[in-house]
Structure 1
């Protein structure tokens, strides 16, 4: 199965997305996800159907595939390419028709029905080219969209007026301005909606624009002379050499060959403080070298870069529908037929039972058609999710699916792994004891441990580095015991675990013991360095009333020591991966649980938790198992992730309340004659703008 990701233009509501979804599923596509807000469509193709055939089918529905295989040859040939252009054209002809509505203005020739007909036709033709065409296609596919309502309302007003004009009864039938105003104001509303929805995508667009930059490519001639010339980053290939100067962006993911620099990785981590980079360190494409000069070779380009993968994951998350959207989607699917029925009942009720004239009854039914807004229900969730995911990505929090955003609202307890999660995974010397001279003790330990690759050995040699180290005649690492060596005088040394010193002391609480000729010279304590932000993160979670739990495979004493330092509520230590999985299952049964981990042994538990959270420097398996990744090399943004999840859900609920309340109130008001179709068309467009504005507030709300 091949995964296909397309950008589709022209979808304006949930019903549009449902039409595309139904078409692709009808063609046998798997894992179909359609997001009308961003225009993202993804699916798996593998049954012999060609992409060109699918693209042609989507084009036939009235939408345009921007990045399909036929995209280049299919440039838009239409006179009007967007709603602003359509509105500008229509308002030129509609404005004169509306003049008589202004008190004190009465232009006699504008009251001529044939003049009004002439002014209405250009608007009506453009309106039917867009709304009528879309309405017919949606009806043929069995999923009527909101354009059916707009088209019916404007056609009814236009045909009724045309009948009066042709039969010489224009004074009782003159509703040309209603037909023109409906079309014009809905185009205005659609343009305002598009601009509002664009703002919900602003954070993701900022991430995307950084992909296109110029690069200084390094090449060598036959005499091995170095030449540097500018190229577009898009033309770089894996293995190419580049020079990155101070103030320049990193063109693509790369690895440093030469130089040192301070690099701002805020584009991915959200952290504005520059990170020190040196030889063999990795650079993220789109990050900026703030000071220093580097030579690097390209390790990934295009869709394989870190930034491209982040954008891909966020777009996929946007196309997923959380449970709260399912009810709105079901209602949206039957909304248009329901409104058509209400409009018909409004006409019949007003005419036969309300004893209203035919013209008033028709106007009221038209008002019902144009005031109803299925878009509001469809936009409620995607708009909020687009802003929530965008703000998260901009701040170094990567949600892999929209469902996890909603699940955060109910999290009551957070489980942490210890090593690499609450701690940095870097060991430091916590203390030592020497029976003799301390400097001599350090010299012996350094001389032994410099030959070991163990993390504890590396920490010791980093802190106790000496120049006059001992030259051994023989040295070896004994697995499970430690480093053993013999000097030139024949003295035997051993630096190892308690097992090596068990015959000489009953104190088993230390990490490294040093012996010379079976005599104990002293011991060393090391501790895993606690992340500097860990204490404040735990305090923030507890302030929200959440239970914090340390779940680790490490020794109980060490876990309790870390928990005491950070104020963690509960400690469960010395657990195998299977036991961790069982513990998470038990926690989930009590209350929704988030698990934060980084190692391979955490992967099963991360997958089992209500929400699995991984760090960006975690193992690949852990990152794959988690639903949320914190990209700033630490726990700093965990409260932000939890807060964004909760507040995104609150925003979705507010949006859905507005969407339902608006339609529940507006439709009866229109049916009872308290709202004319012209005003109704404007209010319908503005209803979506309200949702978009409410969603954009997520960018500024205090959530952490």
Structure 2
């Protein structure tokens, strides 16, 4: 019993927000420190979201002690933090950098008068090094004590080495430039993280709730399911809920990315963070603050930013071996020429120190995460949820996209267009029997028949022995007679060829008009043809054209509908390949075949009926993620609006991200290689080294931030 309790304690998982991260290396170091704490089983830092997940037992004091090298502060994930913006002049690191710069400038100005090696400029250089590099040296010496070689270690050794061989001026310059680049890197990462923090500020922190006949304002954490929330015109909704009184236009741009407000009335679902534009609304709260759609979006975006993309995994593996190799190379350059070839010790030690500086893997390590954090945040602000760096990269490499028809290319609300009696029964009789059979069915076409019967105010008799015939239709007993309703394929099995031949031309005529035909009948005869049409979305044709324009070679429609209807709709919207009369397993097989043919294929569906195909595709894309838990959970990417218009933007953003990641990795490695080659003629100086390293870091960070400019 005791062992079981201990195991439970160890497996306890806590999530904390972290303040003070400055670089990916520091985040990795903090993760290692936390893992080493007694009682902690595992820990995972999410640098993009500034969070840490801790599995096991550890107090906040212990965690902050593990992050003391960066002066990190931790808060429970759900605790509301009011961050006061600190002015530039109040930040200790910035004050030190300014003092260091002043001392360096004064030393430069007087060195010609006194000489480079005079005690006065040397003292000023030394003071500049100590003040500007204070926090750097603290980390560097701690790392050296445990033989840990990261950016801080390399820089510490290089600066001390420069001072030792009398290069005080260059040592001080390196410290100053390093401090400046660190400040710029912090600023850039904060800019990227704003993608998430802006999401967190979307929903109000308080709401007006009616309790005991009084309207009172309370924090959202105190609101319970079932409470009635009062939302005035011009106010944002604080919670998800259902309208119980009033009608208004709701601007849902924050959740779905739709710019046009949607009219909502009694019974409609509304989301936290959306804006009530016109009328007074009373909304019954349906979810707690932790479960609102916006809370789920924030959580999924943060989790997505923690997930390593393939390129990031490569960079992490490469950096693991790269830093020790640079240390060995620097040692070799500093020692081998003087020992074996009579080289000047000062000159070659200087070159070795320059290699240490240029070899810092800062630019390489930051090249991928900054692009992924920025792209995923930008997508979320535009109503697209990308659930990880791996899916971001894969979406950028898609060559084919498959679409479900119903509810994706079409509105998903079919209507009865034709009802043709074939025997002595009247149209109303046929419709009444058909609606009675379809009452128990979940198929979208069934709801069209039931709605039509309700519009005609027909009475529906009782039904007995109802059963579904998978992929073909249903059967049941109505008024003591057994009836079937379903696709022509079902009646081809039930009736003789001669009986079907008489109605085949009528069926084909309706199908060529883009309508789905169902037959009502018995096991002996067909009683009526019922044609149902699903309206094509106005945007579908435009979206398909945009996808072809940006280089998607194949667009495929996968539908259970008959081939004639599928072709009519497919040709109308401009789809290149059309496959009809598919069961769920056929859709899955179609995706597999596309992948076998070498295509990287995306599948767009509603996240429920197309789950197997979505899971098998290179990237599964769900439509209408807002308010749909299944879509948010099953798909790799969720389009929050129930509209395809966000799809070309998603592909464009993913491709741009992939392009920028490749640019960053190539540039980071190329600049290092060029700088290292300067060692051969002895041209590599500490100045060039620091510009190569810090300049590269700044360039890849700013390049990643360009993803904020990709617009829908």
The TM-score with structure 2 as length reference comes to: 0.80
Quick check: 2:151–2:362 contact (8 Å CA) kept in 1?
yes
**Change over 3 Å in CA distance of 1:291–1:206 after alignment to 2:** same
Aligned mate of 1:606, from 604, 614, 617:
614
Which position in structure 2 is the counterpart of 1:595? Answer: 603
CA distance in 2, matches of 1:31, 1:613: 32
Which position in structure 1 is the counterpart of 2:158? Answer: 153
Q: What is the aligned residue count?
A: 664
**Change over 3 Å in CA distance of 1:50–1:279 after alignment to 2:** same
Which position in structure 2 is the counterpart of 1:654? Answer: 663
SS at match of 2:644: coil
**Change over 3 Å in CA distance of 1:261–1:296 after alignment to 2:** same
Unaligned runs of 5+ residues in structure 2 are 1-10, 467-473, 508-515
Which position in structure 2 is the counterpart of 1:529? Answer: 535
Which position in structure 2 is the counterpart of 1:625? Answer: 634
The answer to whether residue 572 in structure 2 is matched with residue 565 in structure 1 is yes
SS at match of 2:633: helix
The answer to whether residue 545 in structure 2 is matched with residue 539 in structure 1 is yes
SS at match of 1:633: coil
Quick check: 2:128–2:172 contact (8 Å CA) kept in 1?
no
Task: State the Cα distance separating 1:535 from its structure 2 match.
Answer: 1.8
**Change over 3 Å in CA distance of 1:617–1:691 after alignment to 2:** closer
Task: State the Cα distance separating 1:533 from its structure 2 match.
Answer: 1.9
Task: State the Cα distance separating 1:33 from its structure 2 match.
Answer: 4.5
Unaligned runs of 5+ residues in structure 1 are 161-172, 221-225, 487-491
Task: State the Cα distance separating 1:446 from its structure 2 match.
Answer: 9.0
Which position in structure 2 is the counterpart of 1:427? Answer: 414
Quick check: 2:394–2:618 contact (8 Å CA) kept in 1?
yes
C-alpha offsets along residues 305-348 of structure 1, whole Å, 9 cap, x if unaligned?
Answer: 21121121112111222222233222322333333333333433
**Change over 3 Å in CA distance of 1:8–1:372 after alignment to 2:** farther
Quick check: 1:143–1:333 contact (8 Å CA) kept in 2?
no
Which position in structure 2 is the counterpart of 1:476? Answer: 462
CA distance in 2, matches of 1:100, 1:599: 66
Which position in structure 1 is the counterpart of 2:561? Answer: 554
Q: How does 1:369-448 map to 2 (within 5 A)?
A: 369-431=356-418
C-alpha offsets along residues 506-552 of structure 1, whole Å, 9 cap, x if unaligned?
Answer: 4373757899xxx9998652212222222222223334242222223
**Change over 3 Å in CA distance of 1:122–1:666 after alignment to 2:** closer
CA distance in 2, matches of 1:463, 1:553: 22
Task: State the Cα distance separating 1:179 from its structure 2 match.
Answer: 3.3
**Change over 3 Å in CA distance of 1:358–1:373 after alignment to 2:** same
CA distance in 2, matches of 1:31, 1:567: 51
Which position in structure 2 is the counterpart of 1:167? Answer: none
Aligned mate of 2:136, from 122, 131, 134:
131
Which position in structure 1 is the counterpart of 2:99? Answer: 92
Q: How does 1:91-240 map to 2 (within 5 A)?
A: 91-99=98-106, 101=108, 113=119, 116-117=122-123, 120-121=126-127, 123-125=129-131, 127-128=133-134, 130-139=135-144, 143-160=148-165, 173=166, 175-220=167-212, 226-240=213-227
The answer to whether residue 285 in structure 2 is matched with residue 298 in structure 1 is yes
Quick check: 1:94–1:119 contact (8 Å CA) kept in 2?
no
SS at match of 1:529: coil
Which position in structure 2 is the counterpart of 1:169? Answer: none
CA distance in 2, matches of 1:296, 1:388: 34
Task: State the Cα distance separating 1:375 from its structure 2 match.
Answer: 1.0
Which position in structure 1 is the counterpart of 2:52? Answer: 41
Quick check: 1:14–1:329 contact (8 Å CA) kept in 2?
no
Range moving further from structure 2, 682-691 or 145-154: 682-691
**Change over 3 Å in CA distance of 1:204–1:80 after alignment to 2:** closer
Task: State the Cα distance separating 1:195 from its structure 2 match.
Answer: 1.1
Task: State the Cα distance separating 1:686 from its structure 2 match.
Answer: 2.8
**Change over 3 Å in CA distance of 1:292–1:495 after alignment to 2:** farther
Q: How does 1:624-703 map to 2 (within 5 A)?
A: 624-669=633-678, 673-674=682-683, 676-678=685-687, 680-682=689-691, 684-701=693-710
C-alpha offsets along residues 60-87 of structure 1, whole Å, 9 cap, x if unaligned?
Answer: 56462522599999x99xx999996424
Which position in structure 1 is the counterpart of 2:511? Answer: none
**Change over 3 Å in CA distance of 1:368–1:700 after alignment to 2:** same
Range moving further from structure 2, 201-210 or 88-97: 88-97
Task: State the Cα distance separating 1:565 from its structure 2 match.
Answer: 2.4
**Change over 3 Å in CA distance of 1:60–1:98 after alignment to 2:** closer
Range moving further from structure 2, 23-32 or 420-429: 23-32
Which position in structure 1 is the counterpart of 2:471? Answer: none
CA distance in 2, matches of 1:294, 1:181: 63
CA distance in 2, matches of 1:370, 1:54: 33
Which position in structure 2 is the counterpart of 1:329? Answer: 316
What do you get for the CA RMSD once the two structures are aligned?
Answer: 4.4
Quick check: 2:64–2:71 contact (8 Å CA) kept in 1?
no
Quick check: 1:83–1:190 contact (8 Å CA) kept in 2?
no
Task: State the Cα distance separating 1:690 from its structure 2 match.
Answer: 0.7
Quick check: 1:452–1:477 contact (8 Å CA) kept in 2?
no
Range moving further from structure 2, 531-540 or 570-579: 570-579
Which position in structure 2 is the counterpart of 1:6? Answer: 16
The TM-score with structure 1 as length reference comes to: 0.81
SS at match of 1:217: strand
